[in-house]
């Protein structure tokens, strides 16, 4: 397709009197990696939940692949990959059993499913983990498996909400490398929500979100130019008025 894979137009969402999204517009092009960057409480998860169809916005429009959740939800979900913030693998099953179950939900089975699992596992360099129980995997490896799982239906758009939470810096870097490899090989679009500046350095475009508003979008170079700085951290401070948060490695 040539139009945007995700188009938010003036999307609004409130929790009671708390306006979490105050009219957000954002387009993601095919094959584009967009980093949604902002401090905690900025509205990233709310935007993510609207984009993944978990709830409808109070106002504005959300279209994925040119379709709306109100009448084409199942057609959208067939083409969407989602990685939620909280871990969601069954710890007592093997990696392969987790992946097979998810593939079956998408109507995949037999040799075709095995091929999908092998291809996605190769991209994420987790082939040697496939037959292990999930419980024995590190947090970083579980995250990689969750992304492999999200790729099984060969999505046109991959949504990831703070996928590196709790991971150490080396694993976080590896995640970034793998995500770019996926995009390069499959031309999948990616929305990566994060509060860490370093994670959007290699995005094609950054959307800066503060207090429910996207205050600026642009390539990393454009964001730095707009702030008159030569690095993204200073640009973030200048444009958002907040200090960047540092990663807490809990693994
Ligand atoms: P982020 O993901 O950037 O941390 P969120 O989308 O989680 O931001 O939150 C945006 C705002 O909405 C915050 O003020 C938060 O407290 C509020 N919020 C988020 N989820 C809920 C909820 N389920 N009920 C009430 N308020 C919420």
Lowest-confidence segment of 71-80, 137-146, 202-211 by average pLDDT: 137-146
Indicate if the pLDDT at residue 229 is higher than 90: yes
Helix (H, G, I), strand (E, B) or coil at 59: strand
Distance 181 CA to ligand 1 centre (A): 32
Mean pLDDT, the chain, rounded, equals: 93
- In this prediction the pTM is 0.93
Residue given tokens 């609207």 in the structure block: 50
Note the pLDDT tens digit of each residue in 151-191.
999 999 999 999 887 788 888 888 888 899 999 999 999 99
Whole-angstrom distance, CA of residue 84 vs CA of residue 147: 10
- Return the residue whose CA atom lies nearest to atom 10 of ligand 1: 43
- Tens-place pLDDT, residues 103-118: 999 999 999 999 999 9
Cα of 212 from ligand 1 centre, angstroms: 9
Ligand 1 pocket (Cβ < 6 Å) reads: 15, 18, 20, 38, 40-46
Q: H or E element: which one contains 9?
A: strand 6-15
Per the listing, tokens 């957000």 go with: 24
Which ligand 1 atom lies nearest to the CA of residue 161? 2
Q: Give the CATH number of domain 28-55+73-79+155-251; options: 1.20.120.1750, 3.40.50.150, 3.40.50.300, 3.40.50.720.
A: 3.40.50.300
- What confidence score (pLDDT) does residue 251 get? 43
Task: Using the atom order of ligand 1, give the atom closest to the CA of residue 42.
Answer: 3
**What are 209's strand-pairing partners?**
214
Domains of the chain, by residue range, sit at: 28-55+73-79+155-251, 89-153
Ligand 1 atom closest to 49 (CA): 6
- For the stretch 69-99, pLDDT in tens is 999 999 999 999 999 888 889 999 999 999 9
């Amino acid at each position: 397709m040539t139009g945007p894979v995700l188009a938010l137009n003036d999307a609004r969402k409130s929790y009671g009197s708390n306006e979490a999204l105050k009219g957000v517009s954002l387009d993601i092009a095919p094959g584009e990696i967009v980093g949604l960057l902002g401090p905690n409480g900025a509205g990233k998860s709310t935007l993510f939940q609207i984009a993944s169809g978990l709830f409808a916005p109070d106002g504005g429009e959300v279209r994925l692949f040119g379709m709306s959740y109100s009448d084409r939800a199942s057609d959208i979900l067939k083409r969407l990959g989602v990685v939620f913030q909280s871990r969601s693998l069954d710890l007592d099953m093997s990696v392969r059993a987790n992946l097979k179950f998810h593939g079956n939900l998408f109507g995949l089975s037999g040799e075709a499913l095995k091929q999908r699992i092998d291809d996605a596992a190769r991209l994420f360099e987790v082939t040697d983990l496939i037959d292990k129980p999930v419980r024995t995997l590190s947090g970083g490896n579980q995250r990689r498996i969750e992304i492999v799982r999200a790729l099984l239906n060969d999505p046109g758009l991959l949504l990831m909400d703070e996928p590196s939470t709790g991971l150490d810096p080396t694993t976080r870097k590896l995640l970034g490398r793998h995500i770019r490899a996926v995009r390069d090989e499959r031309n999948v679009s990616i929305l990566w929500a994060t509060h860490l500046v370093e994670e959007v350095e290699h995005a094609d475009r950054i959307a800066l979100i503060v207090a429910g508003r996207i205050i600026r979008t642009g390539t990393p170079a454009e964001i730095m130019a707009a702030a008159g700085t030569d690095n993204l951290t200073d640009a973030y401070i200048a444009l958002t008025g907040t200090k960047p948060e540092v990663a807490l490695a809990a693994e």
